[in-house]
Amino acid sequence: MKSPGAARAAAQQRLALFDLDGTLLEGDTDQLWCAFLIDEGVLERAAFEAANADVSARYAAGEIEPAEFCAFYAATLAGRAAEQWAPLRERFVAASVAPRIGAAARALVKHRHSAGDELVLTTATSRFLAEPIAALLGIGHVVASELEVDAAGAFTGRNQGVLNMRVGKVERIGAWLATRGESIGRLDEAVFYSDSINDLPLLAAVGRAIVVDPDERLADAAAVRGWPTLRLAGRTVPDES
């Protein structure tokens, strides 16, 4: 736990929270991972391709339960340990993720870092996939869905703990703050960027909510609440005015 002095110093920084998929990334990490594994011959196309499209579409529409969404993608990692997956993950991030992180998204993260904010990536994607993407973006903290491992260290294909999706994002960020000796009241001064109606609970919990290239339902919610809209897609420099 931080010393009182360190906790006070951290509290002087604003938290800048970022959703990943559809916000900083043009696409969905889990959907892209599943498609990558199909192309690599790791997953059977007949068994996974249509299901991947269905789960991804229902997530985008806010119509799938967190347990079903996270379980489907956790299953793609079953049977191997993190170190066994690592070479494929490295290729995946380089080939499928990095090209989909635009200059405007990178500039936004850099802007918040330059402002002295403490940066956090908060995503329903598993920590295993999210951590190298956060590192690529220069984001120091990751709050993500967690994967269960067996006694040998292999992923079981199941999740563990509270899923970092919908209201779970609020619960998990609160738990993360608690491990640092900080209260969830720190969200009162936080800014959160997201594109998705799935993130409405956390958007409503922070002091400043900014919707990024929002889906239709989130755009409507933002209009009612007076939340600003940021357009990153196709831009080289974000405009937060």
Phi-psi region of 150 (alpha: psi -120 to 50; beta: other; left: phi over 0): beta
Q: Known catalytic residue: 220?
A: no
Is residue 15 within 8 A of residue 118, CB to CB? The reply is yes
Determine the 3-state secondary structure of 37 from DSSP: helix
Q: Which residue has the tokens 């720190």?
A: 186
Q: Which residue has the tokens 């806010």?
A: 62
CA distance 80 to 132: 18
Is residue 124 within 8 A of residue 66, CB to CB? The reply is yes
- H or E element in which residue 21 lies: none
Is residue 177 within 8 A of residue 184, CB to CB? The reply is yes
Q: Known catalytic residue: 215?
A: no
Q: In the numeric block, which tokens belong to residue 28?
A: 């969905």
CA distance 169 to 172: 5
Q: In the numeric block, which tokens belong to residue 88?
A: 């494929």
Q: In the numeric block, which tokens belong to residue 231?
A: 């357009």
Measured in degrees and rounded to the nearest 5, phi and psi for residue 184 equal: -65, -10
The residues carrying an active-site annotation are 19, 21
